[in-house]
Amino acid sequence: MLEEKNIFVGGVEYTADRKTLIHFPEDLEIQDYTVPEGTEEIGITAFFNCQQLHSVTLPQSLLEINSNAFQQCCNLQALTIPANVKTIAPNAFLDCPAKLVSESPDFTIDRFGAVVWKDKTLLCIPTELEYYEVPENVIFIGSDVCMFGKLRKIVLPETLLSIGDNAFIGCENLQYVDLPPTLLEVGSNAFYMTACEEEMQAKYPSFFNSDPVKEYIARSIRQVRENGGSFKKINADTAENADWLRQHRKK
């Protein structure tokens, strides 16, 4: 049986069943786009670097928004998360300034514009923020939650148990962070390339053990930022891709 090929609708690539939006071209001259009803998934890097977009309307059929889906959509002004969405990748809105509104009961947008899943897991902090207070009752801070953001200060709640991999990596202006006594785990590279990294390593040594994989990933990220200033849309088996980093979490 022959595999069905992807199709193009108005220049936008979808799977043959039209359930997944795979790629919206960076050079497609459309400022306002409506994803058709019946689409269930926004694919990895689907709208990556689509700086021409001012608005995107998502359908009620949508269930999932994948990694880097709206990364670097620098002119996207607002985005509503439909009621049926069940999954949002932590870095889906990396470097995307859009004001988010959620109609989904599973996701809330806090007063700073950050995305919280079921009031327990922090998924995404706007990278433009310089100050942020993690909501009370949050237990987990997800991976890649504010990579290379402008944060200077973050306040963590007493309910927090875990901080994910690469959570604040590259937030160069982030000063000292008080870790709550409830915290059990800090993921790999969570505070790498931040102003507070060395001070926190000295005060909380049990959370900042080095390992070869961690150092390799960190060097790879630094090279990308120095050469191009942002993650590129490239193959997932390379260190530059944020998805690839997630696959190499500390065991």
Helices and strands per DSSP (H, E), number in the chain: 3, 18
pLDDT of residue 208: 75
pLDDT of residue 242: 41
Other residues' Cβ atoms within 10 Å of the Cβ of residue 6? 12
The reported pTM is: 0.77
Residue 161 CA, chain-centre distance (Å), reads 20
pLDDT of residue 43: 96
- As a residue count, the chain comes to 251
pLDDT of residue 133: 97
CB 75 within 8 A of CB 50: no
Q: Which residues of the chain fall below pLDDT 70? A: 1-3, 209-251
